Structure 1
């Protein structure tokens, strides 16, 4: 598939998806797309499947993808009952093939993952090859929505630099459900409950410390970029979920304190029907640093700009820590940014040296990209061949 536009080729990102193949995925029966530019734009009407393409790319990383969809819901209606997402990638000069699929006759809804000719033990093996980050319209209410949304956002940021974080979080949730059940059944097996609490304390403190480290590193990256950029600086703070307990002590001491807190809180937790302390009660606090104002009180436009700035700072952090330039998925990114900020966003992404996939309903919103991008029209019938970029408006 030829590249579009004219002019010199931009340097290829160190990590990039060169080919994407879909079979019975969402509204796509069969699709093969080859990508030759660092920017890829899918443009078309709402409902034409643009976000489905980004969702497929998000499944090249651990987890449930950018929509957090149930696996069976990813299969095309009236299709085989299964689906397949395949990709050819280049990671620091090494070519690899990744596939994730649900077999039509699968006994369980578990997605299978294959990297080249092997089936990895854990999905986190994908992070050895690429890191996928995303920003979607569903995240626009992040600062005003429930704390649980911010925890999921934060944990996704942590996972991109700490591959073991997702497993710790899942194990903690499993242990907490077990403890809640034991308490609700009024079990008297103190040794059993104590064993579960010891596991929760170890995992919970590890989660809290990983979050705190990520927030500190991200805050440093934001300060390093300086206050003069097109996107406002975000101030970051974290509540651990452990009340007033400071996290500046050795991990072993923190685990002992967390374990004691759980044991002492059994009566209260039993009455509440849930565990009242732990990382599942933490929160990410974001402010508009330039105005010393909570992000939740900022205007809608400022909140969007703060979120974009956070994602860009995180992309820089991921590249620095992992040595892998991340792949950015930016869904409907241009609609709520003024022309100046749109052009600045494109330039910053290019400077980051990453591959970016973007969607929008109006191709003209991406005219500032020019020949840097590969433009695909999307319709209900499918994805079209790339075509020349829209002409940027002439200055008066």
Structure 2
């Protein structure tokens, strides 16, 4: 089984952490301490070792520690079977974060080729009952874990769509202004849609093959106002045909940015949005585990998992089942909880870290 884990993590002026350092091995990491001590801030720091804005989707300025506001820095070593990568991530004065890998400047997309990071946080508990945007982000995080190039396609699509939306808001009707942008949107948009569909197939297969205490979630990708044009040519044609409608709306109304992820509790045939809170949580855990399992079965390493307060919302049986699956996968899972008792079923299969707060400054210390 391949291996991937964050071997070291240091934080400087990041959120509530003025200074902190953690040394780990490949085992799960159980982080405990009172509410507000800074546990989730550690998980957010780890999430930044992957492409995107992290688990809170915060700006670089929002992540800097107050009142100093001098910027922040994260450093860590990502360890695989064959290589270690020294990663530095920093922001100065609220500027966009800068990344270095082994001492050389690197784009965020390079992190996606080194490490896969998945997370489940309390704000996602409402995934099935709130807007489609959150479900698209959830699916795109899974898709990115399978296909690192999904990040480039998404960036290219969003850039072209912003330019097209600017034309729409300015009431431009000349077709020549749109054609090049729509070609780019069609090319990257078709790639996005195909990657999402393939990710759903892999998630479905991983769920069906597993025997777990968590329910199977049937997933489907739909378009908010009809079917998604699947091919590049179809999407380019749909964008051209939609121009006058889009001008009236002032935005682009067709494309993968309008897709939605629909989930169903398979055994009951009940839409996820209509399930109980506990069932909705169990479906999310099932999908995270399926995502990790699919990546492992592909011959790669299990992803790094970030599970914020997940143990508190599971009964003891499912909690123990979750820990067993994480350990069987060989995943380094960073988990938070207020009490050490929440991690009793892990025993010495995990490493323990206590986080405390004194005067608004978080402190990290190994425990157990």
1:157–1:322 distance in 2 versus 1, CA, 3 Å: farther
Separation of aligned partners in 2, 1:116 and 1:364: 39
1:179–1:149 distance in 2 versus 1, CA, 3 Å: same
Separation of aligned partners in 2, 1:22 and 1:184: 43
Q: Which residue of 2 aligns with 1:383?
A: 363
* Pick aligned residue for 1:327 from 300, 304, 315: 304
Please give the secondary structure, in 1, of the residue aligned with 2:184: helix
Runs of 4+ with >6 A deviation: none
Contact 1:88/1:95 (8 A) holds in 2: yes
Separation of aligned partners in 1, 2:246 and 2:34: 49
Q: Does 1:119 align with 2:99?
A: no
Describe how 1:70-219 pairs up with structure 2 within 5 A. 70-79=59-68, 81-104=70-93, 109-120=95-106, 122-219=107-204
* 1:55-111 residue CA offsets vs partner (Å, 9 max, x unmatched): 00011111111100011111111235211100122111322211111134xxx7221
Deviation at 1:223, TM superposition (A): 1.1
Larger Rg: 1
Deviation at 1:256, TM superposition (A): 1.7
Q: Which residue of 2 aligns with 1:45?
A: 34
1:385–1:187 distance in 2 versus 1, CA, 3 Å: closer
Separation of aligned partners in 2, 1:342 and 1:38: 17
Deviation at 1:364, TM superposition (A): 0.8
Deviation at 1:241, TM superposition (A): 5.6
Contact 2:263/2:271 (8 A) holds in 1: yes
CA RMSD of aligned residues (A): 1.7
Aligned residues between the structures? 365
Separation of aligned partners in 1, 2:83 and 2:96: 28
* 1:32-64 residue CA offsets vs partner (Å, 9 max, x unmatched): 111136021111111100000000001111111
Separation of aligned partners in 1, 2:36 and 2:228: 48
Deviation at 1:320, TM superposition (A): 3.1
Deviation at 1:384, TM superposition (A): 4.1
Q: Does 1:233 align with 2:216?
A: yes
Q: TM-score, normalised by structure 2?
A: 0.95
Q: Which residue of 2 aligns with 1:353?
A: 330
Contact 2:18/2:65 (8 A) holds in 1: yes
Separation of aligned partners in 1, 2:125 and 2:279: 11
- Unmatched 5+ stretches in structure 2: none
Q: TM-score, normalised by structure 1?
A: 0.88
Contact 1:242/1:279 (8 A) holds in 2: no
1:45–1:130 distance in 2 versus 1, CA, 3 Å: same
Contact 2:353/2:367 (8 A) holds in 1: yes
Deviation at 1:322, TM superposition (A): 6.5
1:386–1:239 distance in 2 versus 1, CA, 3 Å: same
Please give the secondary structure, in 1, of the residue aligned with 2:49: coil
Describe how 1:303-342 pairs up with structure 2 within 5 A. 303-321=280-298, 323-342=300-319
Q: Does 1:26 align with 2:9?
A: no
